[in-house]
Chain A
């Protein structure tokens, strides 16, 4: 595991006791690498997140009410719900972006594996390096080249001792963009198409080798073809990362997610395997929402 320089020694020790690399398990004699997500969870390369009793506020308004939820390693978890249900607020709490909003605060615990990211002494910047985020609208740095856009994440986070060219290529390949941009790395990132820009932003996010990738409606500004490319990419990315995605597109949640959580008025109503949410939800409010009867 890559050591994280800004976690405390105790936190590092907690994280280093996590499951071994899945490839090691697959290589072990008599051990088959199972394709399903459940096995990947047990011995994956990714990391789980656990939210316990989280409340989030905007001033006096409580936007998240005592939410507890687990995001399993190497799985895609979709969060759905009507506008104002708190899903984006919860997403921002997962890498402490919520507290950047004036008067906003969060109470409760959010664990990355066994480490509380709201714990005393935890460096916020290191949290955001470990838990990256992709936003609704592609936001490449407008004055930077394709190369520099990807390298920016590394430079801004002060990552040293890596071969920048190698890391940029690896990230662009990871984002499924390398073949499309390898001959124009010095061209402005802003000159790419919308879908390419979003994948560029994903490359920038994974360049710092996060544990978890958060996505806030990553395809809502893209055309259908670009959307499908990003969805294919998310399928690929979950082999390496734990992914949490907020989406208003329920078909996208159905296509992408291993599990889906439904939120309403700041509360988590139901979290279950996606097939169950869309075929036989337990809560009548989930049923009403996914069938389009309200929202």
Chain B
């Protein structure tokens, strides 16, 4: 006899959540490689990130199919239904974060062997990358621990990423008249944009945590109507 009613369903749901959280771990691993490849202009490592995105896509498909099966066969309701609905969002955000890592790594070969690195911009790129990684780790922990306070703190951290993104854009505009430098600067704007989107996805995962706990979906910050 099972330990408690619907034990099989409980186990299936727990496994789906574990696989989803594992997907976020894969994103963190990819982000570490992205920052490493950017620092050392490592084209081979960048190619590995692009190739490894298949693992994230596979995880997305696996969890997505698992959720469809669970909905069809187990008809989850109430708190279980909220977890299933949230996982569907979280796994999509995970997949999008992986795509942003790929977007960055596809830019690295375009920079050349000895790109005209501007330290002021590069420092901010690295800072953004570390913050995006921290946010991703935090979003995973908040979801796993159903910690709404921790999830809400993601917004504060994301403001720092947004600030750095704006600064990089301004520095790229002001980086001089040399064509190579300007091209490098514009490429870094695209890298910054991808990192900024990863931060946004982490905040989105935080919002799903709040939904699971409270049953109400709310955006932590309204980018359409920013305050002040």
In chain A, positions 276-295 with a C-beta closer than 8 Å to chain B are: 277-281, 286-287, 290-295
Is A250 located at the chain interface by the 8 A CB criterion?
A: yes
Is A17 located at the chain interface by the 8 A CB criterion?
A: no
* A-B Cβ contacts below 8 A, count: 36
Inter-chain contact B77/A291, CB cutoff 8 Å:
yes
In the bound assembly, the distance between CA atoms of A292 and B81 in angstroms comes to 12
**CB-defined interface of B190-228 with A at 8 Å, one 1/0 digit per residue?**
000000000000000000000000011000000000000
Is B22 located at the chain interface by the 8 A CB criterion?
A: no
Nearest-neighbour CB distance to chain B for A65, whole angstroms, equals 24
Is A31 located at the chain interface by the 8 A CB criterion?
A: no
Is B79 located at the chain interface by the 8 A CB criterion?
A: yes
Number of interface residues of A (CB under 8 A): 16
Nearest-neighbour CB distance to chain A for B209, whole angstroms, equals 15
Is B82 located at the chain interface by the 8 A CB criterion?
A: yes
Inter-chain contact B5/A293, CB cutoff 8 Å:
yes
Q: Which A-chain residue is minimally distant from B9 (CB atoms)? A: A292
Known A251-B75, A280-B215; contact A293-B4, beta-carbon cutoff 8 A:
yes
Inter-chain contact B6/A292, CB cutoff 8 Å:
yes
In the bound assembly, the distance between CA atoms of A19 and B78 in angstroms comes to 36
Q: Which A residues touch B215, using CB under 8 A?
A: 279-280
Is B80 located at the chain interface by the 8 A CB criterion?
A: yes
Inter-chain contact B75/A291, CB cutoff 8 Å:
no
Most buried by A among B4, B75, B78, B80: B78
Q: Which A residues touch B66, using CB under 8 A?
A: none
Q: Which A-chain residue is minimally distant from B81 (CB atoms)? A: A279
**CB-defined interface of B60-81 with A at 8 Å, one 1/0 digit per residue?**
0000000000000001111111
Inter-chain contact B78/A281, CB cutoff 8 Å:
yes
Nearest-neighbour CB distance to chain A for B174, whole angstroms, equals 51
Q: Which A-chain residue is minimally distant from B10 (CB atoms)? A: A293
In the bound assembly, the distance between CA atoms of A251 and B71 in angstroms comes to 13
Across the interface, B82 reaches (CB within 8 A) one of A279, A290, A293, namely A279
Q: Which A residues touch B81, using CB under 8 A?
A: 278-279
Q: Which A-chain residue is minimally distant from B85 (CB atoms)? A: A279
Nearest-neighbour CB distance to chain B for A186, whole angstroms, equals 44
Known A279-B215, A280-B215; contact A287-B5, beta-carbon cutoff 8 A:
no
Q: Which B residues touch A293, using CB under 8 A?
A: 4-6
Inter-chain contact B82/A280, CB cutoff 8 Å:
yes
Q: Which B residues touch A286, using CB under 8 A?
A: 78
Nearest-neighbour CB distance to chain A for B10, whole angstroms, equals 8
Q: Which B-chain residue is minimally distant from A294 (CB atoms)? A: B5
Inter-chain contact A292/B5, CB cutoff 8 Å:
yes
Nearest-neighbour CB distance to chain A for B181, whole angstroms, equals 55
Known A280-B215, A292-B6, A293-B4; contact A287-B78, beta-carbon cutoff 8 A:
yes
**CB-defined interface of A210-222 with B at 8 Å, one 1/0 digit per residue?**
0000000000000
Q: Which B-chain residue is minimally distant from A292 (CB atoms)? A: B6
Inter-chain contact B6/A287, CB cutoff 8 Å:
no
Nearest-neighbour CB distance to chain B for A181, whole angstroms, equals 35
**CB-defined interface of B76-92 with A at 8 Å, one 1/0 digit per residue?**
11111110000000000
Q: Which A residues touch B6, using CB under 8 A?
A: 291-293
Q: Which A residues touch B5, using CB under 8 A?
A: 292-295
Inter-chain contact B4/A290, CB cutoff 8 Å:
no
Q: Which B residues touch A250, using CB under 8 A?
A: 77
Q: Which B-chain residue is minimally distant from A251 (CB atoms)? A: B75
In the bound assembly, the distance between CA atoms of A292 and B75 in angstroms comes to 11
In the bound assembly, the distance between CA atoms of A176 and B79 in angstroms comes to 38
Across the interface, B78 reaches (CB within 8 A) one of A251, A290, A294, A295, namely A290
In the bound assembly, the distance between CA atoms of A295 and B4 in angstroms comes to 11
In the bound assembly, the distance between CA atoms of A260 and B74 in angstroms comes to 21
Across the interface, A290 reaches (CB within 8 A) one of B9, B77, B216, namely B77
Inter-chain contact B78/A279, CB cutoff 8 Å:
yes
A-B contact pairs, 11 of them (CB 8 A): A278-B77, A279-B77, A279-B215, A287-B79, A291-B79, A291-B80, A292-B6, A292-B9, A293-B4, A293-B6, A295-B5
Further contacts, 4 of them, CB under 8 A, given A278-B77, A294-B5, A295-B5: A251-B75, A279-B82, A280-B78, A292-B9
Q: Please list the 10 inter-chain residue pairs (A to B) with the smallest Cβ-Cβ separation, ordered nearest first.
A: A280-B215, A278-B77, A292-B6, A287-B78, A290-B77, A291-B80, A291-B78, A290-B78, A292-B5, A281-B78
